[in-house]
């Protein structure tokens, strides 16, 4: 982990206020920089619970916790130190060196286009004091993976405007619908808005009538979500009502299994189809040779692929993304549940024309005999000779002029096939290639990761390949195994180099060293391992992982467990949660919780536990379901003290959120009915993201790395109502180290969205008022 410090170079701010300032910015850039930092720091640091409107009238700003205050002060001191701004075009020392990382930096910029923050730079200080300056944003650098929380937090995508009006839409309105749907009269909502809330809106809270918590008859339920939910054995379809004859103490469930397996028979089948209308779904057949149950519609056509039971669409095509708009990967589209399957390796389900069985570099032919073969190159291209890209034929022609290139294929044809020669098969082509010192593997497209059999066959041939194509070609081929046209900035320089290699046997031989280099061969095999599974099979696996919030190995394209476990394990001595986080309750200076290293016991649930000490007591229970953990507080008795009661979730060493950075109220990005009644915070590092939600207005923050704290009950005015249950939900999930999933770093994943929605807009319950 690396510390992140932010330096602002006149970027555009997020709020209107900052924007106005920017118009007058001219000479006051430094001042603006400071101002912006304050502005973007403020909401999380103050962990305000309500931000009701842009006028700020109802904003509640609480005292920032000490760590945030300290951090702000430190930043200000640093900014002062940096009073002499660096020249605009100062070389970015040690800026990302690797191809892939450059790519990342570019993509960062793409993301920033949305936010208008293109010009901001951040400097990182690694633990050993190295400093790196790079564009704002999270991602890998030569100093390690850097989490730029300041940047992510400042993203306007976090500032969804929610209004308090929404709270009143539930209950009354839906009870009428439920009454009609179930032909009942006198249907009354179980939830009611606290009377106090009507006068002081800041304390708005929904309470639940006792007869619904401990029902002795049937309850009516309404599912306002877009996904089905199951309660006490009754499945309630989206936007519909049902009657539950025997209310139970079970949690409402969203998934078929609480902990979906990552392999084996217990996996819920995935259905893949190409019609957006599920009613038009044709016949489906199970896919053979797929590690997960995957059913595919027969004869799928077109670019779109759908997953039954979701709103997701995957744009899928083998065509060059430069030429086919539909598959130009736009990573931020995942927010609308649009995904990609293209030749771009960072698309969700990448495609490749390389077939590991046919093109494995491990089976490459040995080097040809330098002294015996033709002192010339060969170019074998049969398609798209000049149509979309005459660039490759220009590079070929110039080399032909200054060295010599035979072209037996249709493109630039200058040589007839000899008897017995064939261009139709891989063997045939290799037999021709083996007769030359050089083989030109020139691709039609420069799109990232566009590497086809044209380049790979050249590698396999035993001649020295000269390759042209994808901008990141070097990450696909052995680095010193080919002459990369992109290394030469003129036709003449390339031709001169080829002529030199053609005369120098030792130099020519140096291009073959990779053939015996196990690490190169293994890296290649790993990179293309995924091609062994069909794209349909990988789509199903990807969808399965995504639906269930499981981990996903993007490179190998397979489902895996999440980095940190999600199953409950309770401390054998104290019965508090020991894993995946350590549970600690505190009032003032006294606290009680799980030990740090004791043995723990796996359990499904933890029943009502009386947390009792020094005169205070809290009654809580814990339920795990749908891979999340819910903590329910039934009673709080503060025993006369005016201290705050807090709950600490300790993920020490499991989540290293740099400088204890967190996103406050991360749930507000979702369009929920009662968003502003809840509180939440998210912490994350490059592997894991943990979101803690509370169903009332309180404070959730991270006082130090790996720790989330929540005020269970504030001072005096915050007493729990007798009809209240304070609920806390803990959602943990992997976040992609790869850019393909980068956006989940500041926007919830599909799984997380569902679990948040379920928590904030739970299944609504109604009773019959007799």
List the structure tokens of 768. 């019959």
* Cβ closest to ligand NAG, residue 185 vs residue 653: 653
Q: Give min distance, CB of 262 to ligand NAG, in A.
A: 20
Q: Give min distance, CB of 155 to ligand NAG, in A.
A: 24
* Under 8 Å between Cβ of 502 and 508: yes
Q: Which residue is nearest to ligand NAG (CB)?
A: 656
Residue 97 interacts with ligand NAG (CB under 6 A): yes or no = no
Residue 597 interacts with ligand NAG (CB under 6 A): yes or no = no
How many residues contact ligand NAG, by CB under 6 A? 5
Q: Which helix (H) or strand (E) holds 307?
A: strand 304-307
Residues 6+ apart with CB under 8 A from 279: none
The full 3-state SS of 572-626, as one line of letters, equals CCCCCEEECCEEEEEECCEEEECCCCCCEEECCEEEEEEEEECCEEEEEEEEEEC
- State phi, psi for 331 to the nearest 5 degrees: -60, -35
Q: Which of 470, 485, 111 is nearest to 322 (CA)?
A: 470
Q: Give min distance, CB of 692 to ligand NAG, in A.
A: 18
Q: Which residues of 722-746 are buried (b: 16+ CB within 10 A; e: fewer)?
A: ebbbbbbbbbbbbbbbbbbbbbbbb
Residue with tokens 């089976």: 363
DSSP letters spanning 5-19: EEE--S---SSHHHH
Q: Give min distance, CB of 656 to ligand NAG, in A.
A: 4
Q: How far is CA 766 from CA 186, 239, 447, 480, 723, in A?
A: 10, 15, 57, 71, 15
Q: Give min distance, CB of 126 to ligand NAG, in A.
A: 13
Residue window 411-430: x/- pattern of binding to ligand NAG, with contact defined by CB under 6 A: --------------------
Q: Give min distance, CB of 754 to ligand NAG, in A.
A: 25
Q: Give min distance, CB of 653 to ligand NAG, in A.
A: 4
* Cβ closest to ligand NAG, residue 361 vs residue 654: 654
Distance (Å, rounded) from C-alpha 333 to C-alpha 339?
A: 7
- The span of 88-96, 158-166, 472-480, 650-658 binding ligand NAG (CB under 6 A) equals 650-658
Residue 727 interacts with ligand NAG (CB under 6 A): yes or no = no
Q: Give min distance, CB of 129 to ligand NAG, in A.
A: 16
Residue window 605-644: x/- pattern of binding to ligand NAG, with contact defined by CB under 6 A: ----------------------------------------
DSSP letters spanning 207-244: EE-HHHHS-SS-EEEEE-SSS-EEETTEEE-TTEEEEE
Q: Give min distance, CB of 658 to ligand NAG, in A.
A: 10
- The span of 100-108, 180-188, 648-656, 690-698 binding ligand NAG (CB under 6 A) equals 648-656
Judged by CB under 6 A, which of 14, 352, 389, 656 binds ligand NAG?
656
* Cβ closest to ligand NAG, residue 22 vs residue 651: 651
Residue 126 interacts with ligand NAG (CB under 6 A): yes or no = no
* Cβ closest to ligand NAG, residue 85 vs residue 703: 703
Judged by CB under 6 A, which of 653, 716, 717, 770 binds ligand NAG?
653
Residue 435 interacts with ligand NAG (CB under 6 A): yes or no = no
Helix axes 16-23, 29-46, angle to 10 degrees: 170
Residue 128 interacts with ligand NAG (CB under 6 A): yes or no = no
Contact positions with ligand NAG (CB under 6 A) in 664-723: 685, 687
DSSP letters spanning 644-699: PEEEEEE-TTT---GGG--EETGGGGS--TTGGG-EEEEEE-SSEEEEEEESSS--
Contact residues for ligand NAG (CB under 6 A)? Answer: 653-654, 656, 685, 687
């Amino acid at each position: 982990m690396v510390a992140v410090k932010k330096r602002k170079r006149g970027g555009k701010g997020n709020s209107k206020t900052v924007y106005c300032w920017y118009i007058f910015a001219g000479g006051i850039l430094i001042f603006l920089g400071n101002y912006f930092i304050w502005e973007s720091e403020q909401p999380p640091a103050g962990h305000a619970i309500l931000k009701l409107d842009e006028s700020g009238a109802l904003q509640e700003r609480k005292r920032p916790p000490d760590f945030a205050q300290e951090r702000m002060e430190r930043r200000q001191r640093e900014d002062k130190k940096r009073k002499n701004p660096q020249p605009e075009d100062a070389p970015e020392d040690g800026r990302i060196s690797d191809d892939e990382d450059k790519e990342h930096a570019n993509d960062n910029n793409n993301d920033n286009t949305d936010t208008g923050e293109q010009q901001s730079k951040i400097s990182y200080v690694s633990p050993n004091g190295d400093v790196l300056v790079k564009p704002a944003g999270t991602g890998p650098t030569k100093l390690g993976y850097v989490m730029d929380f300041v940047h992510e937090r400042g993203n306007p995508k976090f500032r969804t405007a929610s209004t308090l009006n929404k709270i009143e839409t539930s209950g009354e309105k839906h009870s009428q619908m439920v009454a009609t749907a179930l032909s009942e009269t006198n249907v009354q909502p179980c939830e009611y808005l606290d009377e106090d809330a009507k006068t002081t809106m800041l304390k708005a809270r929904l309470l639940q009538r006792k007869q619904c918590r401990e029902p002795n008859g049937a309850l009516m339920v309404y599912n306002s979500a877009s996904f089905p939910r199951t309660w006490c054995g009754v499945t309630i379809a989206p936007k519909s009502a049902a009657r539950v004859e025997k209310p139970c103490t079970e949690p409402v469930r969203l998934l078929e299994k609480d902990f979906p397996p990552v392999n084996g028979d217990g996996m819920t089948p995935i259905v893949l189809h190409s019609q957006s209308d599920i009613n038009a779904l044709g016949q489906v057949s199970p896919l053979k040779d797929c590690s997960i149950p995957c059913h595919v519609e027969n004869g799928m056509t077109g670019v779109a692929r759908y997953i039954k039971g979701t709103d997701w669409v995957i744009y899928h095509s083998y065509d060059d993304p430069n030429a086919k708009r539909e598959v130009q990967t736009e990573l931020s589209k995942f927010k609308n549940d649009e995904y990609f399957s293209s030749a771009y390796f960072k698309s969700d389900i990448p495609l490749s024309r390389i077939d590991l069985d046919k093109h494995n570099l491990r089976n490459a032919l040995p080097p040809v005999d330098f002294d015996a073969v033709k002192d010339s190159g060969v170019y074998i291209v049969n398609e798209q000779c000049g149509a979309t890209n005459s660039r490759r034929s220009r590079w070929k022609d110039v080399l032909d002029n200054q060295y010599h290139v035979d072209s037996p294929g249709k493109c630039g044809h200058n040589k007839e096939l000899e008897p017995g020669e064939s261009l139709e098969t891989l063997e045939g082509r290799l037999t021709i290639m083996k007769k030359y010192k050089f083989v030109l593997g020139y691709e039609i497209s420069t799109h990232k990761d566009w590497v086809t059999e044209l380049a790979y066959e050249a590698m396999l041939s035993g001649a020295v390949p000269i390759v042209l194509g994808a901008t990141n070609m070097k990450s696909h081929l052995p680095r010193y195994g080919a002459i990369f046209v992109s290394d030469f900035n003129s036709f003449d320089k390339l031709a001169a180099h080829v002529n030199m290699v053609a005369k120098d046997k030792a130099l020519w031989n140096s291009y073959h060293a990779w053939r015996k280099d196990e690490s190169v061969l293994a890296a290649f095999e790993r990179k293309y391992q995924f091609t062994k599974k069909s794209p349909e099979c990988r789509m199903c696996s990807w969808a399965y992982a995504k639906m269930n919030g499981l981990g996903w190995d993007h490179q190998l394209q397979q489902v895996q467990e999440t980095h940190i476990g999600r199953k409950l394990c309770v401390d054998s001595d104290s019965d508090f949660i020991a894993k995946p986080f350590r549970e600690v309750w505190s009032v003032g200076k006294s606290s009680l919780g799980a030990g740090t290293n004791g043995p723990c016991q796996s359990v499904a649930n933890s029943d009502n536990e009386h947390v009792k000490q020094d005169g205070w007591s809290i009654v809580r229970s814990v339920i795990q379901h749908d891979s999340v953990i819910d903590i329910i507080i039934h009673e709080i008795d503060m025993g006369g003290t005016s201290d705050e009661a807090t709950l600490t979730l300790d993920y020490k060493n499991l989540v290293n959120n740099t400088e204890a950075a967190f996103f406050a109220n991360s749930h507000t990005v979702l369009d929920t009915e009662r968003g502003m009644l809840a509180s939440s915070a998210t912490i994350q590092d490059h592997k894991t993201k943990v979101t803690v939600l509370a169903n009332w207005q309180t404070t959730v923050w991270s006082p130090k790395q790996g720790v989330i704290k929540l005020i269970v009950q504030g001072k005096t005015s915050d007493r729990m109502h007798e009809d209240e249950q304070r609920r806390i939900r803990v959602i943990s999930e992997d976040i992609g180290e790869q850019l393909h999933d980068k956006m989940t770093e500041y926007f919830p994943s599909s799984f997380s969205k569902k679990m948040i929605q379920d928590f904030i807009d739970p299944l609504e319950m109604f009773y019959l008022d007799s």
